[in-house]
Amino acid sequence: MASITGSFTSLSCSLMPNQAVNRVSKLGSVSLSISGKSFPSLRVQPARFRVSCAAKPETVDKVCKIVRKQLALPDESEVAGHSKFASLGADSLDTVEIVMGLEEEFGISVEEESAQNIATVQDAADLIEKLIENKGA
């Protein structure tokens, strides 16, 4: 099954250890780099046009708090929207636990496929807001 990446550079350059997942980009961006092959049965997210795609700062802050707690990070260590879980020292078990923490905090349910595709704090915050929005709809 092919995957969508946000930028070509992330395909060739991000070589985090223990990472076997291709990160899915945010909704709306659809650049496909799959070594020149075409995949007719590709699953593509419908483009959603929103004025702002980024989650609210409060959501990002809450995610940072949960991440800090899960990874037992010292107060002075930097955790922000752009922070990658892997760069913070999270392994796959940590990531899943973080998602569980987020589900509890926000009262949402994250599908396993989405959970495994979260790479940064921002990804998590965006996903949470999308799920909250869908819940309310």
Partner 1 sequence: MKLQCLGKQLFNSSANLPRIQLSSPMEAHLWYIIPSEVQSQSLLNQYAEILSPCEKEIVFEMRDEELRKRALLARALVRTTIARYQINSHVSPRSLKFIKNVHGKPEVDWQHCEQWRPLPLHFNISHTSSLIACGVTVDSPIGIDVEKKNRRLKHNVMSFAQRYFSKHEVQVLSAISDPQLQLQEFIKLWTLKEAYVKALGRGFSDAPFKTFTIRIRSATKGSFAGNSNFEASEIVVDSFDDSMDLTSDWKFVLMDLAGSHYAAICTKKDSSIQGIQITPTKLTVWKTIPFVHDECVSGTAAVVIISG
Instruction: Name which of 21 and 132 has its Cβ closer to partner 1.
Output: 21
Take residue 44 and report the two structure tokens written for it: 């593509």
61 is catalytic: no
- If phi > 0 it is left, if psi is from -120 to 50 it is alpha, else beta; for residue 102 that is alpha
Among 25, 59, 70, 120, binds partner 1 (CB under 8 A): 70
Take residue 97 and report the two structure tokens written for it: 């636990």
Helices (H), 4-83: 8-13, 57-71
SS3 120: strand
CB atoms near residue 114 (< 10 Å): 15
Q: Which of 91, 94, 123, 126 is catalytic?
A: 91
Take residue 55 and report the two structure tokens written for it: 């989650």
Residue 45 sits in the site that holds partner 1 (CB under 8 A): no
**Per-residue binding letters, 78-117, with partner 1 (x by CB under 8 A):** x--------xxx-xxx--xx--xx----------xx--xx
| CA 4 distance to own-chain centroid | 13
Residues from 13 through 42 that contact partner 1 (CB under 8 A): 13-23, 34-35, 37
Among 2, 53, 54, 132, binds partner 1 (CB under 8 A): 2
Contact residues toward partner 1 (CB under 8 A) are 1-3, 11-23, 34-35, 37, 69-70, 77-78, 87-89, 91-93, 96-97, 100-101, 112-113, 116-117
